Structure formats: C-alpha cells, structure tokens
Structure 1
Amino acid sequence: MLLARLLGPAMTAGALDILGADGRRHRVGVGAPSLTLRLHDKALHRDLVVNPRLRFGEAYMDGRLSIEGGSIYDFLALLCAGPENVQGVLGNVREALAPALRLLQQSNPLRRSRRNAAHHYDLSRAFFELFLDRDLQYSCGYFPTPDTGLDEAQEAKKRHIAAKLLLQPGMRVLDVGCGWGGMALYLARATGAHVTGITLSTEQLAVARDRAERAGLGDRVRFELRDYRQMDGQMDGRFDRIVSVGMFEHVGVPHYRTFFARLRGLLAEDGVALLHSIGRSDGPGATNPWLRKYIFPGGYSPALSEVIPAVEKAGLWNTDVEILRLHYAETLRHWRERFLARRDEARAMCDERFCRMWEFYLAGAEISFRYQGHMVFQMQLARSLGAVPLVRDYMVHAEAALTDAAPASAHRPGASLSR
C-alpha cells in the first residue's frame, strides 16, 4: 500500500496498522501497533496519497476513515511525536507550491475579512461556552504552573498582558479584535482605563455589548463593528495603549505594513501597544489547507522574520518580545477535553459532521504546538524610545499588584462572564 510506505518514515516512535477498504492489513513502524487506521472507502487510498493534508481531515469529517484503539488526537500524536516531521513526509506538489500561492491566499481586503470573521466567529455563543473558560477567552492562556486550570490560566493571561501595558486610570485603550469583550472588560475593571473594542463579528459584538451593560461598565467600555483599517488617528483620536490578542493571525502578510502603520498612527507619542499572536518557529510557511478551508479562511500564523521588518518600516520600537511555547498546547488540551465531555450537546446544536470537524481542529491545533514548531509571541511596541522603563522588572511588579488587587469573586466559576 502506497499510503503505508509514505507514512513509514514518520513512524519512529511506535507502530500503526492500516486496514484498507479491501480488508488487507498493513503495519507501519516498529513494535506492537497501538492504533488501527481503518479506511472505509477504496477511493480514499488515492485521495490520501494525492492530497493528504486536505483529504485526511475531510475523510475524518465524513466518516470515510476511523481510528480504532484510540482517538484522532492519539493518531496525530503518534505520527508527529517522532523526530521526523509528518508534514515533510506527506508533502506533495500542491504544498510545494503553497509558498508561491500564499500571498493570494492571505489577501484579506475588508469585505473578505468580514466574510472570514463571520465564517468562524459568528458561531453561537452557546457553542463556544461548551469548551471555553468562564470569560470566553478564545486565545492562548498563561500557565504559571503545570496544575493551573483553564479559568486561572486565562485570568493570568489577562494580568500578564495588562502588566506589559503599564496602564493608569483614565487611559484610552484600543482593543483590536476584541472577541466577546473579556479583555476590554478586564482592563477597564482592573485598571480604570477607558476601552474601545473593535471586531468584525456581529455575534461577538452583540455579546460584548451585552456583557458591558450587565457589568455596569457601559460608561467606560464600548464596542464597535469596525476593521483596524477603518480606524483613524485624526477622527478617532490617539490611544494611550493598544492591545490585540489573537487577531493578527487574520491580517495576512500582504497587509502587515498597513497594519503596523495604522497602529503607529493610532498611538499617542508616548503610547504602548501589545501584540499577542500565534507564530511559527521554523520560518515562513503556508497554512494547512484543511484548516484554511474549514476553520480559518485567510488565516496565517507568521514567523517573526515576517513581522519584525514590517514593524521596523512603520517606525515603531520593538521594546519587548516574549515567546510562549507550550502554553497554547495546554490551552488546546483543556478545550479539547471540555469539548469531548460535552460532545452530545454540541451534536444537538450542530450535527455529527460538524462535531468531527471541530474535534479534528482542536486535536490538530494542539499537535501543531506540541510537536510542529508553533508558538505564541507577545510583542510590546512603542512610538518613542522612552515609553517604557529600561528594565523588565516593572512587568513582574505590576502583575503581582494586579494579582493582589483581584477580587475574590474573580476566582469563582462563572464570576467573570456577565450573562
């Protein structure tokens, strides 16, 4: 079987049986197999060889293949945990051409950006509540210790970011890609800032506005349906601080110069910005075709070598960079386990095919952070040389102060999510 021969080089940390649609069994790897990949469709043999990175996920969604003896996560981990990268093993002509096509794939003018946002983020609030934390944080948490829970990790993430922003009461803050409003509400509540959050998702906008009113913060936090390109420093005024968490992945390399130029134009002269984004450690690449088609159209996780030149051209100081390595892997593990625990509820909201798609997405994303070089970077930016202190100690002190000042209610389940 050609598929077995293709997978062979990746199987350095275990063994796998492949049971073809013709009933023949093929062993890959060394030792006793822990899993069996069962193909239910003869045409699938060809599909997986021709375009495995797209067709495998589609076949799992459609039930044309199944994993026996474990889960889809177990299967992906078996393929990717060894020293050989399964992405290289399963490379093909389409993926070899992907870098040349990626500028087209990442072209995200305003209309397309709105459509892309609706594709993913306009799913119902009730669906995301199945697996996210109590504050609906849909980005990487921050795990100070191995036993930190998801709710605590997301609170720690917000504190970590707030500490880097050097916030003072009354400061004007712009939250670019504000999600369901959790970060904006936290910054207003914890620091006394006045926050404007912008999003392209109508569903997120409605939830964020509702949460602000219910939290009694409507006078200090407002949310708008706007793109970063629609913000203007002269019309909207300058902001003392700008924060963007989990949005930059949707900008696209062709728009980086515009993004950072607009960010600089919106910052006050002594302003500070914090960019939190998924990145890749192995240089420029291309988005997985299955993920691009079904989960994040137009999305791309950049290498720092693609981001920093755009920052420099915008005339911004890169005052601090922190790399969060396995934090997102742990975040995704929690999401995956929570989703599986409430899978029946998800199926009642959607259907079985959607649930299989979502399970494959969460499993594959976790694998990419554990074994395939994905990480998260937090980049602090400023317009002026002296906007932040010369040493990083202030971050530690500010974070400790925010921890001490946090009300006890913030640690109770459900306390942060105003319903």
Structure 2
Amino acid sequence: MADTAGQLVPVLEELLGAELPLRLRTWDGTEAGPAGAPVLVLRNRRALRHLLWRPDELGLARAYVSGDLEVAPDSDLYDVLGSLARLTEQTQSFTLRAHPRDLFGPQGRRLLRTAVGTGMIGPRPPLPPEEATRQKLTGSRHSLLRDRKAISHHYDVGNDFYRLVLGPSMVYSCAYWPTGTTSLEQAQEAKLDLICRKLSLRPGMRLLDVGCGWGSLLLHAAEHYGVHGTGITLSGEQARGAQQRIGEAGLSDRLTIRLQDYREVDDGPYDAIASVGMAEHVGTEQFRRYAAVLFGLLAPGGRLLNHQIARRPNLPGESYRMSPFIHAYVFPDGDLSPVGNTVSLLEEAGFEVRDLESLREHYALTLRAWVANLESDWDRAVKLSTLGRARVWRLYMAASALAFEQNRIGVNQILAVRTGSDGGSGLPPTRAEWLGATAGESTGPSV
C-alpha cells in the first residue's frame, strides 16, 4: 500500500472519534498526522496486529516492548505518553468506536481495505517474554507462594540493573526533594532521614522494615540513630544485596535480613515499624490482615510509618487493580487503594493516625531521575537484563512520572501510633517537636 501512514491516520481517527494527537511514521517511510506533533514509529506490520488484537494501552505496550513500535529519535517519550493520555481521557479508552453494523457499510469496507493493505490482519503476535513470565503465576491471589512469585517477577531482575537505575542509594521508593536539593542521592538521603525522624528513632530501639529492599533504610537508621533492625523481603536478590551491604558497613551485629513474608513475623514487639513502598503488593483483600499484623508487632506507644502509592477514588472504574500494562509487566497482583481507605483500615486495626503527608510531586521528580539514569547508560542496562526488560522499565517509569504529575495517582506517608492503655501516644505536643532533629543534629550518640 502506497502512503501507508496517510491511509491509516484518517481511519484511526474515524474509529476513535477523535483527532489523533500524534504523527505516525510507518515502515514504508511515509508520515501523517498533525504537524509538529510527536512522532510514533510503526516499524512493521506486527505493531498494527498488536493493536488489532488488543486495542488499548496493553496492546500499545506489547508493541513497544517487542520493539515493533518506537518513539522517533527526534520526539520525546514524555510528549508521546502525554498525548496518548489525553487521547485516553478524550475517548475514555483506546477501544475502537465502530459499531458491528458499520462493518457492512462504507466505513467497514474502507477499514477492511486498509487492514488488508497494511497487513494488519494476521495471527496474534506472540507475547513478549517479559509478559509471558507473569503468566506463570498460579495459586490463590496473595497466597504466600503466589506473592513470592509475584515479587520475584519484579525485584529479581538483577541487583546490578537496579543499581544502574536507582543510583548508589539503592532506594526504590519516592525520594524527598526539599528546596535546594539538586541530586537524587541527596533526595533519597533526605527521605530516609525524614522516616527516621517521624519514627523518633533512638539508640537501642528495635526497628522492623517491612519490604526492606536492599537495606538502605536500615543502614541509615543504624548508622545515624543507633537502632537494632530487622528487614524482611520476599526477593532473594534483595536479601543477598542487603546482607552484603550490611556486612561491608560492619553492622551485621545490629542488622538482620530475613527472606520472610510479613505474615510470618512472630518476634515482636518492635519499637517502630517502617513499610515503604510495600503495601501496594499486599492486595485490598489482605489489607485488614496486614494492618492487624503490624499493629500486633508494635509495642504500646510504637509508631508505624506506612509509605504507599494511592489511586484517586473518582477515576473511572471501581477496580483497585493497577493498569493492564503495570499488572502484566511490572507489579503483578498489585493494588492501589485511595488513601482514605488506607487510613480507615489502619484505624480499624487499632492504630491512631497522627499525620499524613502527600509526596506526589516528589515521586514525579524521582521517576524522571530514574529514567535519566536508565537512558544515560542504556547499552549497559540492556546487557544487564534484556532489551525488552529495559524497554518495560523505561515505559513504566516515564508513564508513572506523568501519572503523578497529572494527579492520577499519589503517594502518602501515614504516621500511625499504637497508643498505650492510658491513651497516651508518646508524641510531643507539636508536629515540629515530634519530627525531631535531622541526623546531623541528632541528640543521640554518634554510632
């Protein structure tokens, strides 16, 4: 078909019921669409087949991860994703609007001619290996065994790959960017210290880090606040990496890493508990149990810091499941709940919620920094994983940055207390006082 792009654009716009906000460049070198718009490159006919078999964001993701769809070198990935997000809002979905009866009219005949001429009609392309792995999850949702497999899918990609993306801090959660902060490392250091101050950590206290990652929070808390800490994770790669870092820091006598589910912890009470970027994996059906377990592991007067991504309650659809792309490629079985639901369930478990801080804009900055790290060392990232996996991470982090910027999702730190039998919280009378000093101003001894 001559001028493939010129044939495709008007048909797509008619089916979508909206003007295409992107230019299309097809495998025959032709290009069509709004002048000056970012350019999406269809490298072959399989790109169209991905969309024909799944005409939504998952179809687009499959085409991109497979390398059949690409962002033009002279276009910006964020601009492309922003344009697609606006199109989604305008049409409510990427689902084509053609009515079945239209297939027998002029529109249907034109669509059929275009589909045949471009090679769109054909067998369903194979799933990218990065998605096929997720298909192997079996068993009851959020059973101990299935949760281990789901966590392994995301976190056991390789510690060297994560080090490239996250930087030396090895912190895989929203950083904290006070005015004047210029680097990701500074922002992650500020976030770790903010958590320690909110928990009012002091020398000798027992800290439990639920979903401890590579041990960064434990290391900071032990080095600057003198705690004894235990970290739990379901990722073998994270556990090995955290243990190595703790050994190199000479803190093996005070910090312990366990390959363990939060439901298996039975050595409380702890003086403080941190759960940072872990509750998204718990599942809405398990969150009551999660809150009750953490409440039971805290000593009276102990504090919980729950750092969790939240969805907006007024978005279309009632499901708390993550987007089809994120569920298939990134966080299988993950859920996002509105922050109000999280607060209610923590209180139902017995906690008194004392503070909630939104860090939405901070996560957008963090994700853009991670994308920059990935793109700046792209060839090594591919070598450390696969081309498909690197493309998944680039797409999900860039799309997530836009979602935070556009207030489609948020992230919040909730500070909750297990009050004593007399109702006492143990907190000073003002927020400024209970936040305490920074690590450099800590009243505790240098450790």
TM-score computed with the length of structure 2 as normaliser: 0.79
Counterpart of 1:313 (choices 325, 332, 348) is 348
Q: Does 1:123 align with 2:157?
A: yes
Cα 1:405/1:382, change in 2 over 3 Å: closer
C-alpha displacement of 1:361: 1.8
After superposition, residues 257-406 of structure 1 pair within 5 angstroms as 257-283=288-314, 285-384=320-419, 385-387=423-425, 388-396=427-435, 398=436, 400-404=437-441
Counterpart of 1:223 (choices 253, 257, 275) is 257
Partner SS, residue 139 of structure 1: coil
Partner SS, residue 224 of structure 1: strand
C-alpha displacement of 1:22: 7.5
Residue in structure 1 matched with residue 170 of structure 2 by the alignment: 136
Which letter maps to 1:39? L
C-alpha displacement of 1:313: 2.0
- Answer with 358-367 or 238-247: which moved more: 358-367
C-alpha displacement of 1:340: 0.4
Q: Does 1:60 align with 2:64?
A: yes
* Alpha-carbon distance between aligned partners in 2 of 1:193 and 1:86, rounded to the nearest angstrom: 52
Counterpart of 2:196 (choices 146, 162, 171) is 162
Q: Does 1:72 align with 2:77?
A: yes
Contact 1:238 1:267 in 2 (8 A): yes
Partner SS, residue 363 of structure 2: helix
Q: Does 1:17 align with 2:31?
A: no
Cα 1:352/1:86, change in 2 over 3 Å: farther
Deviation string 1:43-98 (CA, Å, 9 cap, x unpaired) is: 54464364311111110111212222314333102333x597368343689xxxxx
* Alpha-carbon distance between aligned partners in 2 of 1:203 and 1:10, rounded to the nearest angstrom: 46
Q: Does 1:48 align with 2:51?
A: yes
Which letter maps to 1:276? H
Partner SS, residue 140 of structure 1: coil
Residue in structure 1 matched with residue 246 of structure 2 by the alignment: 212
Partner SS, residue 182 of structure 2: coil
* Alpha-carbon distance between aligned partners in 2 of 1:126 and 1:347, rounded to the nearest angstrom: 11
Residue in structure 2 matched with residue 88 of structure 1 by the alignment: 92
- Answer with 327-336 or 291-300: which moved more: 291-300
C-alpha displacement of 1:333: 0.5
Which letter maps to 1:149? S
Contact 2:156 2:238 in 1 (8 A): yes
- Of the two structures, which has the highest relative contact order with CA contacts closer than 8 Å and spacing of 6 or more? 1
C-alpha displacement of 1:180: 0.4
C-alpha displacement of 1:350: 2.6
* Alpha-carbon distance between aligned partners in 2 of 1:105 and 1:77, rounded to the nearest angstrom: 37
* Alpha-carbon distance between aligned partners in 2 of 1:368 and 1:10, rounded to the nearest angstrom: 22
Contact 2:428 2:434 in 1 (8 A): no
Residue in structure 2 matched with residue 98 of structure 1 by the alignment: none
- Answer with 367-376 or 187-196: which moved more: 367-376
Contact 1:140 1:331 in 2 (8 A): yes
Larger Rg: 2
Deviation string 1:218-254 (CA, Å, 9 cap, x unpaired) is: 111111111000012xxx1301100111111110100
C-alpha displacement of 1:147: 4.6
Cα 1:378/1:7, change in 2 over 3 Å: farther
Contact 2:165 2:373 in 1 (8 A): yes
Q: Does 1:3 align with 2:12?
A: yes
Q: Does 1:249 align with 2:249?
A: no
* Alpha-carbon distance between aligned partners in 1 of 2:163 and 2:19, rounded to the nearest angstrom: 36
Which letter maps to 1:264? F
Q: Does 1:184 align with 2:218?
A: yes
Deviation string 1:5-27 (CA, Å, 9 cap, x unpaired) is: 5667587xxx4212456877542
* Alpha-carbon distance between aligned partners in 2 of 1:305 and 1:319, rounded to the nearest angstrom: 14
C-alpha displacement of 1:351: 2.8
Cα 1:106/1:332, change in 2 over 3 Å: farther
Cα 1:168/1:83, change in 2 over 3 Å: farther
Q: CA RMSD in A?
A: 2.7
Partner SS, residue 142 of structure 2: coil
Deviation string 1:338-384 (CA, Å, 9 cap, x unpaired) is: 11000011122233222222211221121211125211100111121
- Answer with 242-251 or 117-126: which moved more: 117-126
Residue in structure 1 matched with residue 126 of structure 2 by the alignment: none
Contact 1:276 1:376 in 2 (8 A): yes
TM-score computed with the length of structure 1 as normaliser: 0.84
Cα 1:105/1:247, change in 2 over 3 Å: farther
Cα 1:192/1:249, change in 2 over 3 Å: same
User: Structure 2: 5+ residue runs without aligned partners?
Assistant: 1-9, 98-137
* Alpha-carbon distance between aligned partners in 2 of 1:86 and 1:307, rounded to the nearest angstrom: 30
Partner SS, residue 212 of structure 2: coil
Partner SS, residue 85 of structure 1: helix
Partner SS, residue 131 of structure 1: helix
Residue in structure 1 matched with residue 41 of structure 2 by the alignment: 38
Q: Does 1:239 align with 2:270?
A: yes
* Alpha-carbon distance between aligned partners in 2 of 1:147 and 1:297, rounded to the nearest angstrom: 33
User: Structure 1: 5+ residue runs without aligned partners?
Assistant: 94-103, 407-419
C-alpha displacement of 1:300: 1.9
Cα 1:389/1:83, change in 2 over 3 Å: farther
Residue in structure 1 matched with residue 6 of structure 2 by the alignment: none
Cα 1:10/1:107, change in 2 over 3 Å: farther
Identity, % of aligned positions: 37
* Alpha-carbon distance between aligned partners in 2 of 1:372 and 1:86, rounded to the nearest angstrom: 17
Contact 1:52 1:90 in 2 (8 A): yes
